[in-house]
């Protein structure tokens, strides 16, 4: 598999100042304003993981997927072109904008832009998070996972698997698929829906205490959307909170790894959570 991890996410919002406050005060992510007015949020040594820009709509603009080298990017471009996929090589200016050494991009059947890149800028001096946190689980696992709602589920799933090379970890009742490209149980998931778009991005912490302290920060601001729970497939203990853009962050710990060489796809029959993850509406918790 040439795609190694989820490197970054590009977001559009009308709420840039709110995102800076949310990133720092809730997620503990230091922000940097680029010269063109966009907000870059850091999680680790990478120059950024979230690239947030002003736009007329709230949502996901692109996902950045890391490959190992220029040779791997060229080989992936060749494979995609041979499969009849339109791939555009990024200009030097576009690479500088994304802070990568090289990049190409394509659009999947649902209309989402995927950027294939290598050599993302990194600063290995100690990173000071803006809240007392142990840090985030990234490295070979990438920044986390993204869950995307799509109308053309079967077509998009086939594209991600057969063309981009993701492997299916689990499926759920024929309308959700969880896909991996490294030991993280899933780096992207698809949900069939009549309301397409970004559902959530998951961030994984180093300790359970990090989850607890962030739950308190979100609870104080009344932005918790689903209570603490443990998922049945990836075993992550997590809760959900609302971002300034309206979609959710899943904030969790202890997600399982998969054996990328020997994993067998599973079909889930039970609920997606072993316990918890009850929906919160205003001051009420819904248990169904």
Contact partners, residue 249, CB within 8 Å, separation at least 6: 27, 200, 201, 202, 203, 240, 241, 243
pLDDT over 70 (residue 288): no
pLDDT over 70 (residue 286): no
Cβ(32)–Cβ(17) below 8 Å: no
Tens of pLDDT, residue by residue over 218-244, are: 999 999 999 999 999 999 999 999 999
So what's the pLDDT on residue 284?
A: 62
CATH of 5-118, one of 1.20.1260.10, 1.25.40.10, 3.10.180.10, 3.30.230.10: 3.10.180.10
Tens of pLDDT, residue by residue over 26-50, are: 999 999 999 899 999 999 999 999 9
Q: Average pLDDT for residues 160-189, to the nearest whole number?
A: 97
So what's the pLDDT on residue 285?
A: 59
Q: What stretch(es) of the chain map to CATH 3.10.180.10?
A: 5-118, 139-286
Residue 216 CB coordination number (10 Å): 11
So what's the pLDDT on residue 281?
A: 84
pTM passes above 0.85: yes
- Give the fold, CATH level 3, of 139-286: 2,3-Dihydroxybiphenyl 1,2-Dioxygenase; domain 1 (3.10.180)
Q: Average pLDDT for residues 115-132, to the nearest whole number?
A: 97
Q: Average pLDDT for residues 277-283, to the nearest whole number?
A: 85
């Amino acid at each position: 598999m040439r795609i190694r991890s989820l490197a970054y996410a590009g977001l559009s919002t009308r709420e840039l100042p709110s995102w800076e406050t949310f990133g720092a005060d809730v997620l503990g992510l230091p922000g940097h304003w680029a010269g063109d007015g966009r907000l870059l949020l850091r999680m680790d040594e990478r120059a950024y993981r979230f690239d947030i820009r002003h736009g007329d709509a709230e949502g996901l603009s692109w996902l950045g997927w890391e490959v190992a080298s220029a040779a791997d990017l060229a080989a992936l471009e060749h494979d995609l072109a041979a499969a009849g996929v339109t791939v555009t090589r990024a200009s030097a200016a576009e690479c500088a904008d994304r802070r990568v050494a090289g990049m190409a991009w394509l659009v999947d059947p649902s209309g989402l832009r995927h950027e294939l890149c290598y050599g993302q800028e990194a600063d290995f001096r100690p990173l000071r998070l803006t809240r007392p946190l142990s840090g985030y689980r990234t490295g070979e696992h990438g920044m986390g996972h993204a869950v995307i709602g799509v109308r053309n589920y079967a077509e998009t799933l086939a594209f991600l698997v057969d063309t981009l090379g993701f492997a299916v970890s689990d499926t759920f009742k024929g309308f959700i698929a969880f896909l991996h490209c490294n030991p993280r149980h899933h780096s992207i998931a698809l949900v069939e829906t009549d309301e397409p778009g970004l559902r959530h991005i998951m961030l994984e912490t180093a300790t359970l205490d990090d989850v607890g302290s962030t739950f308190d920060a979100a609870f104080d601001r009344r932005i918790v959307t689903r209570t603490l729970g443990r998922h049945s497939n990836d075993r992550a203990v997590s809760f959900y909170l609302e971002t300034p853009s309206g979609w959710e962050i899943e904030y969790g710990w202890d997600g399982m790894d998969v054996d990328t060489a020997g994993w067998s796809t599973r079909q889930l029959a039970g609920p997606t959570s072993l316990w918890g993850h009850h929906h919160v509406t205003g001051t009420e918790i819904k248990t169904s």
